Structure 1
Amino acid sequence: MKVRGTEFDVDDYVLEPLVANLAKRAATIDEKERVLLQAAYLLFMITFRQPFLDGNKTTAFVLTKILLKKKGLDLPAATIVQKQEMFDLLNDVMYGQRGYDEVEKFVRKRVISL
């Protein structure tokens, strides 16, 4: 029996289509639009599909920040309010209470240029 947090494991059946669909979003014409869609998709799908045994919300957030920073953008979560809003969003996504459209709207509203 696997216990969360004691062994790294990933569900390839969840992760592989997620990565393939992320690549499809690269076909969007405008660079910033493409990055915003990819960031929202990455944040949503890792959180919702839970491909890792543990740490899915943190992984989703960190990978999203890396993707954005590579393009000169950021999704700040420095203040207590920003951290709580991010936690609430990802927790709601994990439990199916918020969908992709809400994540995309959240990302669009909060992403800033570096």
Structure 2
Amino acid sequence: MTCPFCTMPNEQIILENKLAKAFYDKYPVQKGHLLFVPKRHVETYFEATEDEIMAIHQLIHQGKEIIDQQYQPDGYNIGVNIGEFGGQTVMHLHIHLIPRYKGDIEDPRGGIRKAIPNLVPYP
């Protein structure tokens, strides 16, 4: 099976460096939801090198600046799903940067411990 992150068209990439790239999530939880992936096909966070993780984190900071300018969110969640039972559906490491907005859920206490209503239905 072909990895959608490895074969992503260049025009969908909004940020990149030597080891990582970022793009908008195809099924965003909120406006501005970004994904960050290593360029090398790596299945999980724990298989990535320290250099790849650092490259992703550099892009996360740049992505936050873009989201701040375009959407002015009130908060953020950063998350990674690892393995099928951790909720991972694309088996290529990807880290989510999800902007949060006042009122997006009634009580945001607990953050990612609660379900966030999806902006777009996930298949």
Provide the TM-score with structure 2 as the length reference.
0.30
Instruction: Judging by fraction of residues, say which structure has more helix.
Output: 1
Q: TM-score, normalised by structure 1?
A: 0.32
User: When you count strand as a share of all residues, which structure comes out higher?
Assistant: 2
